[in-house]
Amino acid sequence: MGIIRHRMENDFEDESHFSPISLVRRTHSPDRSQDGSFSEPHQEHGTNFLKSTVFRSCGIVILKAKINLMLPFGPAAILVHKFYGHEGLVFILSLLGIIPLAERLGYATEQLAFFTGATVGGLLNATFGNATELIISIFALKSGMIRVVQQSLLGSILSNMLLVLGCAFFCGGIVFFKKEQSFNKAAAVVNSGLLLMAVMGLLFPAVLHYTHSEAQYGKSELALSRFSSCIMLLAYGCYLVFQLKSHKSLYDPVREGASESEASSLDEEAPDISKWEAISWLAVLTACISVLSEYLVDAIQGASVSWGIPVSFISVILLPIVGNAAEHASAIMFAMKDKLDISLGVAIGSSTQISMFGYIPFCVVVGWILGCPMDLNFQLFETAALFTTVLVVAILLQEGTSNYFKGLMLILCYLIVAASFYVHVDPELGV
């Protein structure tokens, strides 16, 4: 890679090839051939360079990862939908097809993060890692499936905070078995406070509904949800200023006990692809996920009936696991490299972003624009699951250290949540 970049720099720095002055000289040169044979080699060189860059990038992003063996499931889902129409099969094929796309989306985000730094990198991982859930939610919202939107967003928070963070703590603790890994406690406390604020925003509409204490029945709950969503969006905007501008130093990575050679080796890692290649892949992969998400959402009800599985379990557990594949892979990878601050930025930062911006308040505002009455009343069962999850994670983050046992506890908590939703019948969906 270093040789290729060196050659690229030499090519573009060579004035005899690319400067406007040299091109003019060649154009007016008396010994120039009449058929323009001097310009054709340079055009051919540029074309060959572009082709080699595209092939190299495709080889790194598509052929290098073994998980891409699952990519054919995506086209298979489209073909089954068109010629066979079995919704249960379409759902599982779409689900499997989205997994490698979501993982590669996370990979492209990680490559882009090399050019931005740890704090912005964690924010980018959280943002594009949530792109799958956001796309699925928008398609479900357009179809009027409000409960699916609510439950999939809730499930994404639960999955990030318990499963993704738990696996990161567990794998990092196994790799660094003889020591406790450290992370920035102050940043974790700020995120925990934002998550508790999100719980407050979801709790009051549910309490208002179930206590039958609305000033205007059927209107006050929706109005409170929209007002709270605007406040949460404002709070998240202020949080970005706090994180990226006013208190940027608060989010500096913690590397306690790391030697200078270890720290320098971590910093010397180089990206596999360029910044613009990463941006291009983000656009391509997001478009592919959008196509498969539409088939996935349309097949949810049919899959629930054909498999005998509650829609709430599909929405809260299955969809977020697929959507969080990028965060899952990223958080574990960074934890195993002792970059726990980035792992927390991916897992907790992603949960904060979903609850405070992307997408719960955002979907309420989008539903408001589309005339779809989505509110923040996630029902008591779901709100209780979120409250206990935030409480458990906030307590475990207080010390600013992690080990494999803390990770194991979070994973076991997620199994309890998954079992609870498997036996839960949603009163609005009836399944």
Which pLDDT score is estimated for 416?
Answer: 95
Condensed to tens digits (0 to 9), the pLDDT of residues 209-258 reads: 888 887 877 788 888 988 998 898 888 888 888 887 887 777 666 555 44
**DSSP H helical ranges for 159-299:** 165-175, 185-210, 220-241, 260-267, 275-298
Whether 398 maps to a domain, the answer reads yes
Helices 360-370 and 146-158 pack at an angle, to 10 degrees, of: 170
Whether 138 maps to a domain, the answer reads yes
CATH code at position 336: 1.20.1420.30
> HEC states along 18-59?
HCHHHHHHHHCCCCCCCCCCCHHHHHHHHHHHHHHHHHHHHH
Whether 59 maps to a domain, the answer reads no
Give the C-alpha separation, 190 to 277, whole Å.
34
Instruction: Dump the DSSP string for 102-119.
Output: HHHHHHHHHHHHTTT-HH
Per the rule left: phi > 0, alpha: psi between -120 and 50, beta: everything else, 405 is: alpha
Which pLDDT score is estimated for 13?
Answer: 41
Name the nearest CA neighbour of 340 among 214, 195, 181.
Answer: 181
Whether 53 maps to a domain, the answer reads no
Whether 19 maps to a domain, the answer reads no
By the 8 A CB rule, do 408 and 170 touch? Answer: yes
Whether 277 maps to a domain, the answer reads yes
Mean pLDDT per 10-residue interval, the chain, length 431 residues: 42 41 40 47 64 80 83 91 86 88 80 73 65 75 80 88 92 88 85 89 87 80 89 87 79 56 53 84 85 84 86 87 74 86 82 78 82 83 92 90 92 95 77 55
Whether 353 maps to a domain, the answer reads yes
Q: Which domain covers residue 214, as residue numbers?
A: 67-250+271-423
By the 8 A CB rule, do 77 and 90 touch? Answer: yes
Whether 20 maps to a domain, the answer reads no
Give the C-alpha separation, 105 to 176, whole Å.
28
Q: Cα torsion for 342, 346, 351, 353, to the nearest 10°?
A: 90
Condensed to tens digits (0 to 9), the pLDDT of residues 351-360 reads: 888 888 756 8
For the chain, the straight-line distance linking the first and the last C-alpha, in angstroms and rounded, comes to 54
Which residues are registered as beta bridge partners of 408? none
Domain count of the chain? 1
